[in-house]
């Protein structure tokens, strides 16, 4: 690229940005323009897989929203900006969205450092940051423009503990958890609940996200002689741990958090994840109509692919955004106020979702107790494994 080209490119895009800001204001009045949501999330970088899963859920939900007549006759659309889950880029994206009058609400980001670094900008700019995967307990404390449908770990972990201790009868537990803000918070809630139910915690081991080899960790687990393994993991690391546990000869019952709920967990884990127990928010044969609609719709749109937990989060988030915008319209403050007004929005994760205005989160996630049988997720029949 010659110097002249580069210079014109820079000038051109700067001019385009300014012109865009000026132009969009006038275009906004016309109702043929879609209502625009901003999404900040990873499309490249180490977390790129989650951004692609978000997109699948968003697109399916948008198809349904559009088919049902959109938002009072107007279409709903989103603008996805790649942040690589990097706080430096998520703050720039935040300013971009805040200063773009077409954006009525923001969704994301994925990781806590990227999301919470951008929160002050959204709060001061008066644009809702709807963090639908942000389980960090301090996320919604960033201000009254921060709302989240992420399942609170204070809700989820006691359910998992009840499954492991009360239903499966495990009394001495080894916990392996991702050493991130999510994994740590989850572990603490799990330990508290499990102890209340009368179980003993033999050992807890935190591992970093890039870890692939768990053999030595599993020797520590073996030496603590637990009768059950608890995995607070995502599906890829959960599958690795299950495989290696079986390879080193650990035969204990494995019980995992809902984040392993993905067809990839079965694919990556193979025979080793047979009989793994997990709590989830929904499951394939779930009789609830919203779940049936989600799963059949997803399979039809993506060549028979089974949806996973992150697909469900983003699908729900887009439907929630639509419900909010239906009430709040396109005024940013009204959109924020609408979060407190939406009632009983149909949701795969919650059944029906209503925000708790105090915590700006949704309580009461659905719960199903599953087990892997013959390479498929199935509702647990109460039989011991």
Partner 1 sequence: MSSWLDYTINGLIVGNVYALVAVGLALIFGVSRLINFAQGSIYLVGAYIGWVAVVQLHTPLPLTIIVVAVAAALVGLVIERFGLRPLQNSVRIAPLLATIGISFVLDQLVMLTFSPNPRALPSQLPDVRFQIGGGTIGPLDLLIAGVGITSALLLFVFLRYSKLGWAVRATAQDRDAAMQMGVDVNRVNQAVFGIAAALGGVSGMLVGMYYNQIDTAMSLQATLKGVVAEVVGGAGNVPGAVIGSLLLGLVESYGVAVFGTSYRNLFAFLLLVVVLVLRPNGLFASARQAPPEPLTGTFIAPSRPVRIPRWALLVAAAAFAILPLFPVSFYVLQTLINAWLLGMLALSLTLVAGTIGQVSLGHAALLAIGAYTSALLSLGFAVPVGLSIIGGGLMSAALGTALISPSFRLRGHYVSIATLAIGEIVSLVILNWESVTRGPIGISGIPPLSLFGYDLISPNSIYWFSLVVMIVLALLQARLLGSHLGRSFRAIRDDDIAARAYGLSLNRYKSLAFIFGGFAAGVSGGIAAHLYSYINHETFNTQQSILALTVVILGGLGNVVGAIVGSVALVGLPELFRIAAEYRILIYGIVLLLLVRFRPQGLLGTM
Tell me the angle at which helices 153-161 and 181-196 cross, rounded to the nearest 10 degrees.
50
Q: Strand 76-82 and strand 35-41: pairing?
A: parallel
Q: Is residue 296 within a helix (H) or strand (E), and if so which, with residue range?
A: helix 289-301
**Is the CB of 33 or the CB of 211 nearer to partner 1?**
211
**CA 101 – CA 350 distance, rounded (Å):** 32
Shortest Å, Cβ 53 to partner 1: 8
Among residues 174, 176, 40, 167, the alpha carbon closest in space to that of 97 is found at: 40
Shortest Å, Cβ 260 to partner 1: 13
**Is the CB of 157 or the CB of 347 nearer to partner 1?**
157
**CA 284 – CA 85 distance, rounded (Å):** 31
**Is the CB of 14 or the CB of 300 nearer to partner 1?**
14
Shortest Å, Cβ 111 to partner 1: 7
**Is the CB of 71 or the CB of 266 nearer to partner 1?**
266
The 3-state secondary structure of 319-344, one letter per residue = HHHHHHHHHHCCCHHHHHHHHHHCCC
**Is the CB of 81 or the CB of 290 nearer to partner 1?**
81
Q: Are 65 and 105 in contact (CB under 8 A)?
A: no
Shortest Å, Cβ 151 to partner 1: 18
Q: Which residue matches tokens 């699948």? A: 56
Shortest Å, Cβ 307 to partner 1: 13
Q: Are 128 and 339 in contact (CB under 8 A)?
A: yes
**Is the CB of 143 or the CB of 297 nearer to partner 1?**
143
Contacts of residue 363, defined as CB under 8 A and 6 or more positions apart, other chains included, come to 152, 155, 356
Among residues 379, 365, 384, 297, the alpha carbon closest in space to that of 135 is found at: 365
| CB count in 10 Å sphere of residue 285 | 12
**Is the CB of 276 or the CB of 366 nearer to partner 1?**
276
**Is the CB of 19 or the CB of 169 nearer to partner 1?**
19
Shortest Å, Cβ 316 to partner 1: 20
Q: Are 367 and 354 in contact (CB under 8 A)?
A: no
Shortest Å, Cβ 344 to partner 1: 31
Shortest Å, Cβ 322 to partner 1: 23
Go through the chain and tell me how many residues it has. 385
**CA 277 – CA 142 distance, rounded (Å):** 35
**Is the CB of 43 or the CB of 168 nearer to partner 1?**
43
Shortest Å, Cβ 366 to partner 1: 26
212: tokens are 């692939």
**CA 217 – CA 283 distance, rounded (Å):** 31
């Amino acid at each position: 690229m010659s110097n002249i080209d580069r210079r014109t490119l820079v000038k051109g895009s700067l001019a385009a940005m300014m012109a865009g800001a000026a132009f969009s204001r006038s275009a906004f009045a016309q109702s043929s323009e879609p209502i625009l949501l901003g999404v900040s999330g990873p499309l490249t970088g180490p977390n790129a897989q989650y951004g692609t899963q978000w997109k699948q859920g968003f697109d399916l939900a948008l198809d349904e929203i559009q088919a049902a007549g959109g938002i009072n006759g107007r279409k709903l659309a989103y603008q996805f900006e790649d942040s690589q889950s990097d706080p430096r880029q998520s703050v720039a994206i935040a300013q971009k969205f805040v200063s773009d009058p077409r954006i009525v609400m923001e969704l994301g980001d994925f990781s806590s450092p990227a999301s919470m670094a951008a929160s002050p900008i959204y709060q001061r700019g008066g644009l809702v940051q709807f963090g639908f995967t942000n389980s960090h307990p301090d996320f919604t404390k960033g201000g009254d423009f921060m709302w989240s449908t992420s399942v609170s770990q204070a809700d989820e972990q006691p359910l998992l503990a009840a499954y492991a201790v009360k239903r499966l009868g495990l009394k001495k537990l080894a916990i392996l958890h991702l050493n991130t803000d999510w994994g740590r918070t989850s572990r603490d809630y799990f330990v508290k609940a499990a102890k209340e139910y009368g179980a003993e915690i033999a050992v807890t081991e935190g591992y970093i996200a890039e870890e692939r080899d768990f053999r030595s960790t599993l020797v520590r687990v073996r030496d603590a002689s637990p009768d059950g393994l608890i995995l607070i993991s995502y599906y890829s690391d959960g599958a690795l741990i299950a495989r290696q546990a079986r390879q080193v000869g650990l035969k204990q019952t494995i019980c995992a958090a809902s984040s392993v709920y993905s067809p990839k967990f079965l694919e990556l884990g193979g025979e080793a994840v047979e009989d793994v127990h997990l709590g989830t928010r929904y499951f394939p044969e779930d009789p609830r109509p919203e779940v049936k609609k989600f799963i059949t719709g997803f399979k039809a749109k993506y060549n028979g692919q089974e949806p996973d937990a992150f697909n469900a989060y983003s699908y729900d988030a887009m439907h929630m955004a639509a419900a909010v915008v239906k009430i709040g319209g396109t005024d940013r403050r009204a959109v924020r106020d609408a979060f407190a007004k939406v009632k009983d929005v149909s949701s795969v994760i919650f059944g029906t979702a209503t925000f708790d205005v105090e915590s700006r989160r949704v309580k009461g996630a659905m719960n199903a107790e599953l087990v892997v049988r013959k390479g498929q997720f199935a509702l647990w029949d109460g039989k011991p494994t």
